[in-house]
A and B are shown apart, each in its own frame.
Chain A
């Protein structure tokens, strides 16, 4: 444990800082988020935990700008640069009629990037997630884990400064999930973007993040905000590390009080 006081930011900071101030959002006059405030540093890896229906997904959509708050502010710093945010859904949501390469290149295509450079970038993004060989295959020909990797590559292809993940690995088997956790962590280390990772798995949150918040079931109130005291470089050895168990325990206690 040489890095007991690990900074929560990665060394090469390309991430954006994020500030939510008294954000409120209702659907059909049912408040989902009530007066939510949160500051995230540039390059931070934040995990958001909470029971189902606590507004985690709404929070991510607010941050991504897909929906607007009824009141309060969501601000990024440096101020909103176009296309700096990427979003990974719980399911891969690939376009089944496109090859893996074309799927990974989709965001650049929508942004108007020419074919040759966008395919080159997609190729590189796929290499980052270890999927180079599958480039010319179609989603239906891939395993669930491979599809999620494509989804991840699609998010990374724009070199986002803010990466939002909404329970991305929840549907995968555990071995695949462990592998993707490690990949994600090391990608973050290399790139230094800000990551907000929503999950309902306490161990996954503890394993991945440097800071975790636990939301209550009502209106997205922060119940616990904890910096995790774990090494910066993480691999599967960490899973049996007592330090992880301690952090997991702390999160679990907060979760249990909640439910």
Chain B
């Protein structure tokens, strides 16, 4: 706990510095408050609109986490399947890339038709936006298995599944976790984009606040969304540490 605090201090310094800088610039009249709301106003908004904002945050969190969990599960499963043969990779990998390039905004109206307004559209959006890095990283991790170890496994007659589960998959874990880390941030973005379309959570708060020119509230919602992204990132890092603690040099200290 104490080390966590000590780690948080250096990260808090730029945050405080920027906060103070913006506040002073706005108070001095150098920057107009209706363009960049002063941090104090954002904070007041968070306090005043706390019930609404935190209910929205809870909805966004649920949508983002569900989408992320689906991405993790399906992404890893798809990558494992793709890794089974070069022919399968050539046949299906281009379609995995589709997930990365799909302009989520362009297909937004369709998402609503397919999944209806509300949570399912949010989850679908978070899922579509975040699955690709999981697939790409898992696949590249599995495919880059040490050749010497592959030789060793074949020397002792290991089956394909034994090679996958006792060698390739665990060896790919650091890369899988990197993929999950990227996917976590994307899932939050995907969820919020989904909420613009699907109409709930922080996305809807931003939508409404923007039409009302409530920049303070827009920023308040954005700030909460960032904290959600940060929390998800921290969660995955924690998972990473637990999984990799003993065997990765990068996690040694």
A-to-B contact residues, CB < 8 Å: 61, 64-66, 82-83, 85-87, 89, 91, 93, 95-97, 106-107, 109-111, 138-141, 158
Given contacts A97-B247, A140-B249, contact A66 B148 (CB under 8 A): no
Beta-carbon nearest neighbor of B167 in chain A: A95
B-to-A contact residues, CB < 8 Å: 146, 148-149, 151-158, 162, 166-167, 170-171, 173, 246-249, 252
Given contacts A82-B157, A97-B170, A111-B157, contact A87 B249 (CB under 8 A): no
**Which interface residue of B171, B173, B247, B252 has the most chain A CB atoms within 10 A?**
B247
Q: List 26 A-B contacts (CB under 8 A).
A: A64-B151, A65-B155, A66-B151, A66-B155, A83-B156, A85-B155, A87-B151, A87-B152, A87-B155, A89-B152, A93-B148, A93-B152, A95-B166, A95-B170, A95-B171, A97-B170, A97-B173, A106-B166, A107-B152, A107-B156, A110-B153, A110-B156, A110-B162, A110-B166, A140-B246, A140-B247
Measured CA separation A85–B156 after assembly (Å): 9
Q: Across the interface, do A66 and B154 meet the contact criterion of CB distance under 8 Å? A: yes
Beta-carbon nearest neighbor of B159 in chain A: A110
Measured CA separation A64–B153 after assembly (Å): 12
Beta-carbon nearest neighbor of A67 in chain B: B151
Measured CA separation A65–B167 after assembly (Å): 20
Measured CA separation A91–B146 after assembly (Å): 11
Q: Across the interface, do A93 and B146 meet the contact criterion of CB distance under 8 Å? A: yes
Given contacts A89-B152, A93-B146, A93-B148, 13 further A-B contacts (CB under 8 A): A64-B151, A66-B151, A87-B151, A87-B152, A89-B148, A95-B149, A96-B246, A97-B170, A107-B152, A110-B157, A111-B157, A140-B246, A158-B156
Measured CA separation A158–B162 after assembly (Å): 18
User: Which residues of B are found within 8 Å of A141, using beta-carbon distances?
Assistant: 246
User: Which residues of A are found within 8 Å of B149, using beta-carbon distances?
Assistant: 93, 95
Measured CA separation A95–B153 after assembly (Å): 12
What is the CB-to-nearest-CB distance from B220 to chain A, in angstroms, rounded to a whole number?
43
Q: Across the interface, do A61 and B247 meet the contact criterion of CB distance under 8 Å? A: no
User: Which residues of B are found within 8 Å of A86, using beta-carbon distances?
Assistant: 155
Q: Across the interface, do B157 and A83 meet the contact criterion of CB distance under 8 Å? A: yes
What is the CB-to-nearest-CB distance from A25 to chain B, in angstroms, rounded to a whole number?
15
User: Which residues of A are found within 8 Å of B162, using beta-carbon distances?
Assistant: 110
Beta-carbon nearest neighbor of A109 in chain B: B166
Measured CA separation A28–B72 after assembly (Å): 39
What is the CB-to-nearest-CB distance from B197 to chain A, in angstroms, rounded to a whole number?
42
